Amino acid sequence: ACTSDSGDDSTLTVCTEVPFAPFESKEGDDYVGFDIDLMNLLAERLDQEVEVVEIGFESIASGEALNAGTCDIGAAGLTITEERQAAMGMSQAYYRADQALVVGAGSTVASIEDLSGMRVAVQSGSTGETYANDNAEQYGYEVVSFESMGDITAALTAQNVDASIADLATWTDMVETATDLTLVQKIDTGEAYGFAVQKDDAKLLEEVNAMLDEAFKDGTYAEIYEKWIGE
């Protein structure tokens, strides 16, 4: 915490981006979710208070925000990738993730194979964007990048795009309220989420990993999992 500009030693500054339910979302003035509960556990362990810094996903995922000292830790449903491990300190895995294909009202698309000639929305800097780009030529669709899941949902509803590829758990949650959207295909990518710290913050990285070890062992993780994801 001492290397961050934005907080003192009594504050754990957490970079995140919303909406990304069930991992992080805003309820009134409060940030809630799976990631936030785990960050509260970490803060408790460090005798600190969580202070959330809302910032664009791409600047978290690239390491830019953390390495500039904007916050102590990134909690944003961040998939562990080699690139991110090189740019930042990444914790052990705490959630097993996949991608999903979502379409708007009246769509006849049932799978990625039906996307020829269509516009597919993704989030800038996300693993969904990478997946969509890697498969665009084969299936003949155009990738359109948006800053947030909120922007993607709005574009789908307005029918400015035909489909979207983004994280399964978040889409599963979001299609419950965005009733005009339908999740049509789960795409197995075998991802794992981790928390990110500043590149040289070995001390905080150790604390995050120890917090997770303890939560896995004492049942706290299972409780948090059940609260936000279900059985």
- Contacting residues toward ligand GLN, per CB under 6 A: 17, 20, 57, 61, 76-79, 97, 123, 126-127, 167
Provide the β-strand partners of residue 185: 101
Comparison of 45 and 172: residue with beta carbon closer to ligand GLN: 172
HSE, side-chain direction, 13 A CA sphere, residue 116: 4
CB of 17 or CB of 72, closer to ligand GLN: 17
The Cα 137–Cα 208 span in angstroms is 40
Q: How far is the CB of 134 from ligand GLN (least distance, A)?
A: 14
Burial class (CB in 10 A: 0-12, 13-18, 19+), 217: exposed
Compare residues 126 and 164 and give the one whose CB is closer to ligand GLN. Answer: 126
Give me the sheet containing 196-197, strands edge to edge: 49-54, 11-16, 73-74, 196-197, 89-90
Q: What minimum distance in Å lies between the beta carbon of 116 and ligand GLN?
A: 25
Max CA distance (Å), the chain: 54
Minimum distance of ligand GLN from residue 191's CB (angstroms) = 6
Tell the smallest beta-carbon distance from residue 2 to ligand GLN (Å): 27
Q: Are 183 and 107 in contact (CB under 8 A)?
A: no
Output the smallest distance, CB 106 to ligand GLN, in A.
Answer: 26
Tally of residues, the chain: 231
Please say which residue, 45 or 56, places its beta carbon nearer to ligand GLN. 56
Closer to ligand GLN at the Cβ: 46 or 193?
193
